[in-house]
Structure 1
Amino acid sequence: MGKYAEFSQKVLENVGGLDNITFVAHCATRLRISYADGSKINEAAIKALPECAGIVKKANQLQIIIGPQVPDAYYDFLEVSGWKEGMNENAVNVPKEKKSILDLIADFFPPIFMPIMPALVVGGMVLAIRTLCVNYFGLDVSSGTAQLLTCFFNAGFEFLPIYIGYSYAQKLKLQPILGMFLGGCLVCSRYQSGVVTDFLGIPIEQVSYGSTIIPVILGTTLIYFLDKYLKKIIPNAVIYFVKPVVTMLIVVPVTFLWLGPLGTWLSTYIGYFVTFLMDTLGVFALPILCALCPYFVMFGVDKALSPLGIELLATLGYNNITAPQNFISNIGVGAVALAIAYSAVVRKDKVKRGMIVSTAITALCGVTEPAFYGSLISFKEALMGHAIGTVIGGFVGALFGLRTYISASCPGFLTFLSFINPETGSLQMVWYAAITAAVTVAACFIATSILIKRSESKKAIAG
């Protein structure tokens, strides 16, 4: 037994015992226990436990805040309680409250992304260190040191479909290895080499799925429904090996043929949309694109905009669309994460503050995935704050005619060199970028802080 054995025993007693538990999971800081009957939950007793830093009760789920040691508490709880996946599936849950789309999104993503946050944070922080050393301390970008540091980032982000497949399958109460297997197929080196051109004569589009999340989520959702159907028709004597084989023989080709390319098809229309905005809305186009940028990344369509940036540099000598958009959006994500961390300081929530500050730093340096998936997407106030702040920052940038003169990966505070005009050596755009960044940070931080405070006031009045 681990150090959380006694804690787990007391939690088990105060959630109504094993028969009242319908699901157990954990995120970065919280032990999440879903239950059938809320009247059996003794919140006061759980709050009084020394290992508990607070609790959050949402519909039919109790979230016990523990901190970074939550994985230890999770495994001890599984051992003490004897709970296993699939238990009490037919238990009647309490009615779920009606939620807005933003609330549903906020509840959907955290259980998927929180378990993989350490990999994203490590990859993002190390890439920020590499970018800093290359841009300002003379590290040769082709050196072994720089390449090894890049491997940290690749390990965290290029294999994201594998991580997402595992955690999402776990959320759906599937065998996690099946989601992981699907993710592995999407980033398999043989597919990426370009030799997988068709399946049974049906052409397969050549799409890069590294760092994407939507294709593996769609594919794993298909696994979920197919798994439920196959359980009903496959005899128990052969289900152990027949069901996963049949499942993946269907899901993998369907994902490559239709579900995965959805992002590519969407990218085509995103390209038309961007062109339309720039042609018709002038200075109002950049603010809109800045607010939408994180969702472009989420759906993997940001890659479709990369050729536009390359074409602008080749024809005009500067990029006044995709680079400023990414720069403002990334800094906005970092500022919103800082606002969330600040609200945690006000509430004396040291656990959340420490985790979010690190992701905010990586976002300000240009790597937004840890902050966006780990913080923003869990709070509708944060998503709204980012939209408000980046629209303001985008408008300022558009008025300045903000542009970059060289291509820079992960635009943020470490890529100001891209705003220097190489022909004249002028720093004018650097100053414009600094002003735009300051406005963006202030607007995002203030907007998010106000929205969070207003939301907490409403909850206090309602409670």
Structure 2
Amino acid sequence: MKNYKNDAALLLELVGGASNIAAVTHCATRMRFVLNDTSLADQDAIGEIASVRGVFAQAGQFQVIIGNDVSEFYNQFVSISGIEGVSKENVKVTATQNLNVVQRAVAVLAEIFSPLIPAIIVGGLLLGFRNILETIPFDALGGQTIVATSQFWAGVNAFLWLPCEAIFHFLPVGITWSISKKMGTTQILGIVLGLTLVSPQLLNAYSVATTAAGDIPKWNFGFIQIDMIGYQAQVIPAMLAGFLLCYLERFFRKIIPEAISMIFVPFFSLVPTILAAHIILGPIGWKIGNMVSLVVNAGLTSSLNWLFGAIFGFLYAPLVITGLHHMSNAIDLQLIADYGSTNLWPMIALSNIAQGSAVLAIVFAHRGNKEEQQISIPATISCYLGVTEPAIFGINLKYLYPFVAAMIGSAIAGMTSTLLKVTAASIGVGGIPGILSIKHGYFSFFLCMLIAIIVPFILTLFFRKHNILNKIDRV
């Protein structure tokens, strides 16, 4: 076991001492603090600690990147500080006290979608693979698709729709479950609620537009009729219903005696929520979702789409710093539900690549700096695989100019992506593997990837040479 006692003691001092720590825990690579006063923490000095790979504050938490040895570092830190660690959930709860209303809303949104990301990534990769099989004609196959020439691959393509449908068409089930999990209510009720939104008994959401109003099935209660419409792949209706269920369950648990709560709390929570979901929340949520996707799609398909793409590409990395980038997941999924693809995800993947390329330029410029390469090389690889935080907080913001260079490269790549009408079938793995999610414009996206690699690399070296936007490095 490595000895981190000196570094741990120094970190304790630089975060403001034990009295400034409201809570502390760790994840796979980072120490996560909630500090009583973040101004007491010396970020620059913490970044100079030998075992620290980066420092940043996000969602009310002060996070220190340690790496794969974080659990050993954490144990020694707790021993030295005398502070008892808490769970990640407790840290999140404590951290929310430091957030404003908007930040809390974004944090909640992030916590809802985070547990769903592994499934969504798998689904995105599978949809991308199916797109290759069934939509792309190959000259070697006489201009036909793979499924048209091979029964085996046709069977594979049909089989792979099973998990894709489960992940995306039944997405409301995952959302309502995740909300109940995050809110600390009964998770099986969240699952049941989600299933009532996508039941085969209902008219599939994708068939509503092509079904005459008179042909839509209804529940007839005599004095009122309710459309039997499903909400497959719909995000906002599921979120509205999920939160109502949780708040009703919390309310009834307070007023119903514990002796009969197992019977009546689920009943009075679930049944009214299902009714509200199909009478009020579902239709309202559908309209809100359509409005959001309509506005975004209008920006991405208008004559000024190049400007929209450039702005989004330029600002996505700063959104990562604030945590607001989590909102893009909901928008992406709504675009996919309404239009069958999304223009945003390709630009997000390109932003990942751009940040990685800026770090790669730092690796090249600072070659021989073994200590920094322990941060910069893994950060580059991480970016190219879709995770940008180590690069942004560990290298690019430290020097500033590579961060700006990456933003400019991402803006140019995003502008090119929108002009060439690149779309993705789903959100999935970011960075370079993002090409597997592309639905239209494989070669166009490849061109955009080259832009996201070359432009930030050259700009980073140019800014360094001419000392532009340079916080630290002098030449």
Structure 2 CA distance for partners of 1:161 and 1:20, relative to 1, 3 Å: same
Partner of residue 334 from structure 2, selected from 284, 300, 303: 300
Q: Per-residue deviation at 1:236?
A: 1.4
Quick one: distance in 2 between partners of 1:413 and 1:388? 18
When residues 66 and 239 of structure 1 are mapped into structure 2, their CA distance, relative to the original with a 3 A threshold, is farther
2:178 aligned residue: 167
Q: Secondary structure at the match of 1:198?
A: strand
Q: Is the 8 A contact 1:207 1:264 kept in 2?
A: no
- Of the three residues 190, 194, 203, the one matched with 2:226 is 203
Match of 2:77 in 1: none
Question: Measured at CA, do residues 193 and 82 of structure 1 come closer, stay the same or move farther in structure 2, by a change above 3 Å?
Answer: same
Shift of 1:118: 2.0
Q: Within 2, Cα distance between the matches of 1:213 and 1:189?
A: 18
Question: What is the deviation of 1:248?
Answer: 0.9
Q: Spell out the pairing of 1:77-226 with structure 2 (5 A cutoff).
A: 96-98=98-100, 101=102, 107-134=107-134, 135=136, 136=138, 138-140=145-147, 143-192=154-203, 197-198=218-219, 200=221, 201-204=224-227, 206-210=229-233, 212-226=234-248
Distance 1:178 1:354, change over 3 A: farther
Q: TM-score, normalised by structure 2?
A: 0.54
Matches within 5 A, 1:187-266: 187-192=198-203, 197-198=218-219, 200=221, 201-204=224-227, 206-210=229-233, 212-266=234-288
| Unaligned runs of at least 5 residues, structure 2 | 2-7, 72-83, 206-215, 313-326, 363-371, 388-402, 428-433, 464-468
Q: 1:179 touches 1:216 (CA, 8 Å); kept in 2? A: no
Amino acid at match of 2:277: T
SS of aligned partner of 1:170: helix
**Shift of residue 447 of structure 1?**
8.5
- Inter-partner Cα distance in structure 2 for 1:25 and 1:220: 29
CA distance in 2, matches of 1:382, 1:340: 5
CA distance in 2 between partners of 1:88 and 1:172 (Å):
12
In 1: Cα distance, 2:256 partner to 2:470 partner: 51
Q: CA deviation at 1:193?
A: 6.0
User: TM-score, normalised to structure 1's length?
Assistant: 0.56
Q: CA RMSD in A?
A: 6.1
**Aligned partners of 2:107 and 2:458: how far apart in 1?**
21
CA distance in 2, matches of 1:192, 1:146: 25
Following TM superposition, by how much is the alpha carbon of 1:125 offset from its aligned partner in structure 2, in angstroms? 2.0
Task: Say whether 1:438 aligns with 2:472.
Answer: no
- 2:354 corresponds to 1:339: yes
Structure 1 unaligned blocks of 5 or more: 4-9, 72-79, 307-322, 361-378, 420-432
Tell me the secondary structure at the aligned position of residue 203 of structure 1.
strand
Cα distance, 1:121 vs structure 2? 2.0
CA distance 1:36–1:358, change in 2 (3 Å): same
Q: Secondary structure at the match of 2:229?
A: coil
- Deviation of 1:249 after TM superposition, in Å, equals 0.9
Is 1:214–1:299's contact at 8 Å kept on the other side of the alignment? no
Task: Write the deviation string for residues 124-155 of structure 1: whole angstroms up to 9, x where unpaired.
Answer: 22332333344347531672111123333333
Change (3 A) 1:144 1:277: closer
Shift of 1:233: 1.1
Letter in 2 for 1:204: D
Number of residue pairs aligned between Structure 1 and Structure 2: 378
Contact 1:112 1:167 in 2 (8 A): yes
Question: 1:247, CA displacement in angstroms?
Answer: 0.8
- Deviation digits for residues 35-68 of structure 1, max 9, x if unmatched? 88999x9x999x9999x97775547546576889
Q: Is the 8 A contact 1:340 1:448 kept in 2?
A: no
- 1:232 maps to amino acid: K
C-alpha spacing 1:205/1:84, structure 2 compared with 1 (3 Å): same
1:442 partner letter: I
* Rg comparison, structure with higher value: 2
Instruction: Letter of the 2:354 partner, please give it.
Output: A
- Cα distance, 1:29–1:145 mapped onto 2, change above 3 Å: farther
Residues 332 and 440 in structure 1, CA contact (< 8 A), matched pair in contact too: no
